[in-house]
Amino acid sequence: MANHSNHGPLSSLAEKIIHRVVQNSAFFYYARTHFYWGSMKRMRRALDLRPGERLLDVGCGSGMGAKLTKGTYIGVDNEMSYLRFAHGRLRHRGTHSFACMSAMQLAFADNTFDKAMMLNLVHHLDETILDRFLLELRRVVRKQVFILDHAPDHDNAVSGWLLSLDRGAHIRRRAELRRLLARHYDIANEEAFFNLEHTISHVLFTLVPRRSGAA
C-alpha cells in the first residue's frame, strides 16, 4: 500500500514542518513522544520482560523505546545524529547502549538477545529489505520479536490524515504485513489499537522465530 499524501495547503505546510523536525534529533524525539502515549504501555505489557532478559531495539532512532526496560538494552540504527542524542540522554544508564550498524548485518552472535522490537520501522522498508531484516533478527533472538507499526485499515479521520504525511513509502494493511511476517515467524498475537489521543492507529505483532527446518 503506497503512501499518497494529500497535497493541499495544510498538508504541504505540515510536510515542511515534519521535514524540519526530523533533521533535529531532539525535536524529533520530543515532538513524537505524545504520539506514543498509551501505545508504549501496551508494548511494555506485551514485552513482559523478566529480570536478566536482553532487549534489542532495531531502528531505535532517538531511543523512544529505551524506556521500556531497566535491564540490558541495545539500540541499533544507522543515523548517527539520532544515536548521539539517545546516548546523551541515557548515558547515566549503564544497562543501555547504542550502536551504529545495519540491521541486515547485525554484529551479534546467534541467540544473543531474548527479545527484540521494531517500532514504526517496517513501513520504511520494501519487501526485500524487510525480509532480510526479519531473517537476521531471527538469527540473534531466542524468544520473541515485537513489531509495532501503523494500521491503515484501522484509521479514523485524524490518524488517516497524519498517516498521509508519513515519510514511509511502504505502509501496509494488516493482512499484507501478516503475510510477510509469517514467512519466518509464528504469529503468537496480533492486536490493533489507537494511542491515548486516538490520533495514531497501531498494530502490534508478537512473533516467535521459526527455526530453519521447522515446518
In-domain check, residue 112: yes
pTM comes to 0.86
In-domain check, residue 90: yes
Residue 5's pLDDT is what? Answer: 47
Structural domain containing residue 32: 9-209
In-domain check, residue 48: yes
The enclosing domain of 44 has a CATH number of 3.40.50.150
In-domain check, residue 73: yes
Query: Which tens digits make up the pLDDT trace of 168-215?
Result: 889 999 999 999 999 999 999 999 999 999 999 999 999 999 986 554
Query: Which tens digits make up the pLDDT trace of 42-92?
Result: 999 999 999 999 999 999 988 999 999 999 999 999 999 999 999 998 988
Q: How far apart are alpha carbons 166 and 120 in whole angstroms?
A: 11
In-domain check, residue 2: no
Kindly list the distances between the CA atom of residue 63 and the CA atoms of 52, 58, 167, 190, in Å, as whole numbers in the listed order.
Answer: 20, 10, 19, 24
In-domain check, residue 70: yes
In-domain check, residue 4: no
